[in-house]
Structure 1
Amino acid sequence: MAKSLKTDVVVVGAGAAGLMCAAQAGYRGRSVLVLDHANKPGKKILMSGGGRCNFTNLVVEPRHYLSANPHFCKSALARYKPQDFIELVERHGVPYHEKTKGQLFCDNKASDILNLLLTECEWAGATVKVNCGIDSVKKTGEGFVLQTAEGEVQCASLVVATGGLSIPTLGATGWGFQIAEQFGHHCLPRWASLVPFTFSDRWQPVFAELSGLSVDVQVTCNGTRFHDPLLFTHRGLSGPAMLQISNYWQLGDALTLDFLPGQSVEALIKDWQQAGVKAELKNQLASLLPKRFVQQWLDHTGVNKPVHQLTVSDVESLADALHRFQVTPSGTEGYRTAEVTLGGIDTREVSSKTFESNKVQGLYFIGEVLDVTGWLGGYNFQWAWASGFCAGQFA
C-alpha cells in the first residue's frame, strides 16, 4: 500500500458482512479497500458449522433475531432474502445440502463460501488487505483519514464490519464498538451468545460423567423454549439446545429441561404396568434414552426398581426428573467459545435502509457489531449478507 492512498470506500473487517458489502459497493463502480488486522480473511467463516459453514436458513424471519430495537432488521431481511444468497452460491457452483430445520451447509468445506466472497470482491474490483491494523480514524470535510500499519488512507465512506467479541483467538476485538463510541454512538451491553453453559454445583460431576453424550431435549428459560439436541460436557451443557437458549438466559436464571419431549413418562409407566411388565425401570427407559444417561439419572433420583413396583410417588419423582428437571448454570464458557455477541451498537442511531450512522455522514455499521443477534442455524450469516448487501448499495 502506498504511504498515502485515496479510495471511495474503506471496509474494516474481512468477514462475512464486510466482504459482501465490499463486492456490492465495487459493482457500483466505487473504489473499495477492505482492511483486516488478521493474517487472513474470513477466519470465522472457515471454522463455522464445524468447518462446513451453515451459510443461511430456508426460513428467515425477524422473530429469529434479538435486538433492543426489534423492527430494525426487517427492512434488510426483506431486501436480501436467503434465496438471493442461495442463487449466488449456485452461480459459483458451490454444492450444498439442507441438514435440519432449513439449515443449509456446504457439502465440502466452509472455504467454498469464503472463496465465493473473495471472487466476488475480485470481480467487483475491491482490494482486500490483511495484516493491516488501524491506529486511528479521523473525520474530515471530505470523509475520513485512517492511519494504518501501512500508511495513511483517505476515504469518503467508512464501513465498520469488525464483528463482535466472540472467539478472540480468531482475532475478535472491541475495535468496532470503540469507533462507534468515538463518533458519539451508544453501545448497548454485550454478552457472549450462542454459548455453552458451565456448572459448579453438585450437577457438574454428573454432567462430566456423561461427557460426550447427546440427548434430544426441550429447554425452557424466561418463557422461551427450544427443542434440539443437548450435549453433556466436562464443564456443563452444550449442543444446539443450550446454545439457542443462552440468548435468553441471564446469570441466576434456571433452565427447565424435558428429556422426553412430546411423551409422558406417567402414561408410559401406566401402560407398562397394565401390560404386566416386570423388567427393571432402567431397561425400559433405555429403549427411549441412552443407557448411560438413564443409569445416572435413576441413581440421582433414587427411583431405581422394577416397573411393577413403582408407586405413585415414584412416578411423580421420575416425571419431575425427566420432564421438569431444573438446573441453574453458574455461567457460560464466555467469548472463548461463543458463536456471536449479544448486544452492540444501538440500532436506533443507524439507518435501517442504508446502515449509515444518523450521527456521522459517511460512517456505516453492518453485521455483528450492531445490536442484532440471530438464532443458531444460519441466521447470523443471513444477517451478515443482508446488512452487507444493503450498505453496499449506498456506501
Structure 2
Amino acid sequence: MPDTYDAIVLGAGAAGLMCAARAGQRGRRVLVLERAEAPGKKILISGGGRCNFTNIGAGPANYLSANPHFAKSALARYTARDFLDLVESYGIAWHEKTLGQLFCDGSAKQIVAMLMEECAKGDVTVACGEEIAAVTEDGGYAVTTQTGTYRGKSLVIATGGPSIPKMGATGFAYDLARQFGMKVVEPRPALVPLTLGGDEVLFREISGVSAPIIASANKTSFAEAALFTHRGLSGPAILQVSSFWKAGDPVTINFLPGRGEGWLLARKCDTPRATLRAVLREALSARLADILADKLGIAADLGNASDKALRDAEKRLAQWDFRPNGTEGFAKAEVTVGGISTAELSSKTLESKRTPGLYAIGEAVDVTGWLGGYNFQWAWASAVAAGDAM
C-alpha cells in the first residue's frame, strides 16, 4: 500500500465503509484500516443475519443524545429512502417487518458486498487485520500499524463503541477522541437486557415466556413484546426502554394494554365465579398469568373479592414496577449510549471543531437510535455527511 492518502478511515463497519465509498467516489484517495480479519462483522450478525439495514420512519425523534437536535442535519440530507435506493440499485430484495423495519430477504452479506463494491467504485483501499499502534497529528494525520505508517490529510474515527466485545469492539474511539482533546459523554450499554434480583428473582422461573406489553422508563414508552429470561427481562420493548433506563429507576410494565379503567369490575359483574388467575390466562400465557395472580394475592372468585382489591389489581397490572439491579452489560448490548460529545463536532460535516480534518461518525458519536434499523440509518447518514465534506 502507498503511504499517503487524502483520508484515512479507522474502522470497516457500516459507517466507515459508507464514508470511504462516498469520499472515494468524489475522487479522494482513501484508506480504510480495520482491526478484524474481514470487513462488516457487526453488519453480518445484525437482524438475525438478515441486516435490519434501516427504518423507513427514521427521524431525529428516534435518537438519544445530549443534544437531541444534533442528528437533524445529517438525517435530513441522507434519508432511509436514499439508502433504500442504493440497496435496490444492487438488486437486493428486501421486506418490511413491523414498525418500518427493513431487512434483506436474503443475507446481511449482501449489504457488506454492496458497501465493498461501492468502495471499489471509488478505488478505496480496505486493509483488514491492521492493529493501530499510534495516531499522531502534524498538519495531517499519521497512523502507525504493524505493517507501516500511513498519512492522510483527514482522519475519520469510525470504530464504533464497546458493545459486543466478542466481535472485537473496544472503547478505542473514545481514547483517540480524548487524545485530541475532545470530550466524551460517559458510555453505557444500550438496547440491552435488564437483570432482576431480590423478590423479583421469582420472575426468572418463567424464563422463555413472552407477552405483548407496554414498557416505560423515564417517561418514555414502547409497545412491543417483553421476554422473561433466566437473568431478568429482555425482548424488544425492554431493549428499547433500556436505553432510557438508569440505575435505581423502575421499569414499568402494562401487562394488559388496551384495557380501560374498571375492566376487572365489569368482569366481576359478568362472570362473578371466575378467578383472577383464569381471567389473566385468557390474555397471557398460563405461567405468567399464574405468577401475576399469585403476586396480586386474590385467590377468591371475582364475586367474592372487594371492589377495592380489584381496582388495586387493575392498577398494578397496568403499572407493574420492576426494579432492575443492572443490565447484562456491553457483552449483550446492541449499541452504546454516549460517546464522543456532539458539542465537539459540526452537525453538518461531523468534523471536529477544534482539530481540522478529524471526523467522528456512527456509533462512536453520542447519537444512539432506537431498536429497529435506526442505528444503521445514523451510520449511513453521518458517514455521508463526513464523506461529502472531505
Identity of aligned residues (%): 49
Aligned 1:320-335 pairs, distance under 5 A: 320-335=315-330
- Alignment partner, residue 268 of structure 2: 273
Match for 1:390 among 372, 382, 385?
385
Q: Distance in 2 between matches of 1:178 and 1:280?
A: 59
- Alignment partner, residue 223 of structure 2: 227
Render the CA deviation track for 1:97-155: whole Å, top value 9, x for unaligned. 111011111112221211111111112211211110110011123x1111112111111
1:188 is paired with a residue of what secondary structure? strand
Q: Distance in 2 between matches of 1:10 and 1:235?
A: 42
- Alignment partner, residue 241 of structure 1: 237
- Alignment partner, residue 9 of structure 2: 11
* Counterpart check, 1:162 vs 2:159: yes
Match for 2:144 among 144, 147, 152?
147
Q: CA deviation at 1:320?
A: 3.4
Aligned 1:20-35 pairs, distance under 5 A: 20-35=18-33
Amino acid at match of 1:241: A
1:20 is paired with a residue of what secondary structure? helix
Q: Distance in 2 between matches of 1:287 and 1:200?
A: 28
Amino acid at match of 2:386: A
- Alignment partner, residue 264 of structure 1: 260
* Counterpart check, 1:350 vs 2:348: no
Render the CA deviation track for 1:369-388: whole Å, top value 9, x for unaligned. 11111111111100000000
1:39 is paired with a residue of what secondary structure? coil
- Alignment partner, residue 207 of structure 1: 203
- Alignment partner, residue 129 of structure 1: 127
- Alignment partner, residue 193 of structure 2: 196
2:340 is paired with a residue of what secondary structure? coil
Q: CA deviation at 1:277?
A: 5.0
Structure 2: gaps of 5 or more residues = none
User: Does the Cα contact within 8 Å between 1:58 and 1:104 map onto a contact in 2?
Assistant: yes
Q: CA deviation at 1:310?
A: 2.7
Aligned 1:38-187 pairs, distance under 5 A: 38-141=36-139, 143-187=140-184
Render the CA deviation track for 1:240-271: whole Å, top value 9, x for unaligned. 1111111111110011111011113731x333
Render the CA deviation track for 1:70-119: whole Å, top value 9, x for unaligned. 22111100100000001011111111111101111111222121111111
User: Does the Cα contact within 8 Å between 2:265 and 2:310 map onto a contact in 1?
Assistant: no
Match for 2:354 among 352, 359, 371?
359
Amino acid at match of 2:75: L
User: Does the Cα contact within 8 Å between 1:195 and 1:337 map onto a contact in 2?
Assistant: yes
Q: CA deviation at 1:57?
A: 0.8
Render the CA deviation track for 1:188-229: whole Å, top value 9, x for unaligned. 11111111101121112x221111111111122221111111
Q: Kindly tell me: are residues 273 and 300 of structure 1, through their superposed partners in 2, closer, same or farther at Cα, counting changes over 3 Å?
A: closer
TM-score of the aligned structures, taking structure 1 as reference length: 0.95
Q: Distance in 2 between matches of 1:372 and 1:305?
A: 51
Render the CA deviation track for 1:281-331: whole Å, top value 9, x for unaligned. 322322211111101111222113333333213313421331111111100
1:146 is paired with a residue of what secondary structure? strand
User: Does the Cα contact within 8 Å between 1:207 and 1:235 map onto a contact in 2?
Assistant: no
Q: Kindly tell me: are residues 6 and 276 of structure 1, through their superposed partners in 2, closer, same or farther at Cα, counting changes over 3 Å?
A: closer
Q: Distance in 2 between matches of 1:274 and 1:174?
A: 59
Amino acid at match of 1:342: V
Q: Distance in 2 between matches of 1:282 and 1:263?
A: 17
User: Does the Cα contact within 8 Å between 2:197 and 2:325 map onto a contact in 1?
Assistant: yes
Structure 1: gaps of 5 or more residues = none
Render the CA deviation track for 1:335-394: whole Å, top value 9, x for unaligned. 001111111111111111111111111111111111111111111100000000111112
Q: Distance in 2 between matches of 1:171 and 1:155?
A: 25
Aligned residues: 390
Q: Distance in 2 between matches of 1:51 and 1:176?
A: 26
Amino acid at match of 2:161: G
